[in-house]
């Protein structure tokens, strides 16, 4: 399961100097091709609502997803609820960011997700999702 948080539906036009010009649909299409080669299935979703992301993490556990790739976007820095949801499930969660939050504003330096994530990939653009998928397929 590949979960994306707020404003990531605007990828492609949203601050392209930071987030690149690929849309979330472009990323989804590429991940589907790569998943086929790896022999795994991907289910990519996006929501601007914190509770949807919490519900989907619970769903990942109930369907026994092999892994979750999570770009919680701004909720990374604010959401104890998402952190608790990640901690509550036994499905491994790989945190992904297109940009490198540590090289940006101070308020982006803290991630509530990182302490409970299996791994973190940041700053490599959309390629980070592909790297996470490759890692997820081995879990």
Q: Binding site residues for substrate, as ranges?
A: 71, 77, 84, 98-99, 108
Considering the candidates 75, 97, 112, 129, report the single residue annotated as catalytic: 97
CB of 81 to ligand DQA, least distance (A): 16
The residue (of 42 and 129) whose beta carbon lies closer to ligand DQA is 129
Q: Which of 56, 93, 97, 130 touches ligand DQA (CB under 6 A)? A: 97
Active-site residue, 19 included: yes
> Does 71 engage in binding with ligand DQA (CB under 6 A)?
yes
Q: How far apart are CA 125 and CA 129, in angstroms?
A: 8
Binding residues: 71, 77, 84, 98-99, 108
124 touches ligand DQA (CB under 6 A): no
Question: For residues 13 and 21, what is the distance between their CA atoms, to the nearest angstrom?
Answer: 7
Task: Give yes or no: 97 in active site.
Answer: yes
Q: Which residues contact 69 (CB under 8 A, 6 or more apart)?
A: 1, 2, 3, 93, 94, 96, 129, 132, 133, 136
Alpha-carbon distances of 104 from 80, 101, 110, 122, rounded to whole Å: 21, 5, 11, 12
Active site residues: 19, 97
């Amino acid at each position: 399961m590949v979960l994306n948080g707020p404003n990531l539906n605007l990828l492609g036009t949203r601050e392209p100097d930071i987030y690149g010009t690929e849309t979330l649909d472009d990323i989804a299409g590429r991940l589907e091709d790569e998943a086929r080669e790896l022999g795994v299935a991907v289910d990519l979703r996006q929501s601007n609502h914190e509770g949807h992301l919490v519900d989907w993490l619970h769903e990942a556990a109930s369907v026994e997803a092999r892994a979750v790739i999570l770009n919680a976007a701004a909720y990374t820095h604010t959401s104890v609820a998402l952190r608790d949801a990640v901690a509550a499930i036994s499905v491994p969660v790989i945190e992904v960011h297109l940009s490198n939050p540590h090289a940006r504003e101070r308020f982006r330096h803290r991630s509530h997700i990182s302490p409970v994530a299996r791994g973190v990939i940041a700053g490599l653009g959309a390629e980070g999702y592909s790297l996470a998928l490759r890692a997820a397929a081995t879990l």
